Structure 1
Amino acid sequence: MITGLDHVQLAAPPGSEEALRAYYGGVLGMTELAKPPVLAARGGCWFAGGDAVLHLGIEQDFRPARKAHPGLRVTGIRDVAERLGGHGVAVVWDDDLPGYRRFYAEDPVGNRLEFLEPAAAAG
């Protein structure tokens, strides 16, 4: 029945689109996707990078996801961590998942993100 994962949606507060664009587009290098006009009127923004698609939707009573999170597979995880750190983003490494190097970080509105790479590829 299920053939794949189309996208993950995270919530964001009203008026945060520019900060989201700067982070997901600028820092992470994801490509912003055009939203259909009827959905664009609701605010928010969509991004894609590799096979990952993230929808950031505006939520009036926004509270950041502190536990729930997307896991974003990367290449060159140390470089990704350094890039985030260079933009003032705190990186928290976690070695509890066998076979992977991974860390957690927050987006500019406080949503938790996991970045991971298979340990063999990470070196």
Structure 2
Amino acid sequence: MQIACPRGTEDVLRSFYAGVLGLAEKPKPAALVSRGGCWFVGHGIELHLGVEDDFRPARKAHPGLLWESGLAALAGRLEAVGHDVVWANDELPGFRRFHTHDPHGNRLEFLEPTA
């Protein structure tokens, strides 16, 4: 899955996606490095952060990221570094879930199965 980002913000992305979310950076193929952005993997997720020169954050459209366990701990880490976490547990049976935004304002949804 690809999420858009502004050019030259790879350090901010690494701080959030690796530092806060705990995903590992995946090296991009040599032919793609010059395009900017970065890739992350972990928890069964692979995210590609790709540069858009006319970047605008996705405030409504968003990926739904399945987080097998530890969702409350993830929410705590996000809140500890200043990210809003909005829980929506009553809207989707069988899942605990919340929404937050990455440092560029892209909306993200995290879901954890309850059964």
Distance (whole Å) between structure 1 residues aligned to residue 75 and residue 113 of structure 2: 15
1:11-26 equivalence runs, <5 A: 11-26=4-19
Corresponding residue of 2:96: 101
User: How many pairs does the alignment contain?
Assistant: 113
Distance (whole Å) between structure 2 residues aligned to residue 64 and residue 26 of structure 1: 21
For the aligned residue pairs, the C-alpha RMSD in angstroms reads 0.9
SS at match of 1:47: strand
TM-score, with structure 2 as normaliser:
0.94
**Structure 1 residue 51, shift from structure 2 partner:** 1.6
**Structure 1 residue 56, shift from structure 2 partner:** 0.2
Alignment pair present for 1:86 and 2:96: no
Deviates more, 1:76-85 or 1:101-110: 76-85
1:57-76 equivalence runs, <5 A: 57-74=50-67, 75-76=69-70
> Where do 5+ consecutive residues of structure 1 fail to align?
1-7
**Identical aligned pairs, as a percentage?**
59
Distance (whole Å) between structure 2 residues aligned to residue 84 and residue 50 of structure 1: 16
Distance (whole Å) between structure 1 residues aligned to residue 70 and residue 24 of structure 2: 19
> Where do 5+ consecutive residues of structure 2 fail to align?
none
SS at match of 2:91: coil
Corresponding residue of 1:29: 22
**Structure 1 residue 59, shift from structure 2 partner:** 0.3
The one-letter amino acid of 2:35's match is R
TM-score, with structure 1 as normaliser:
0.88
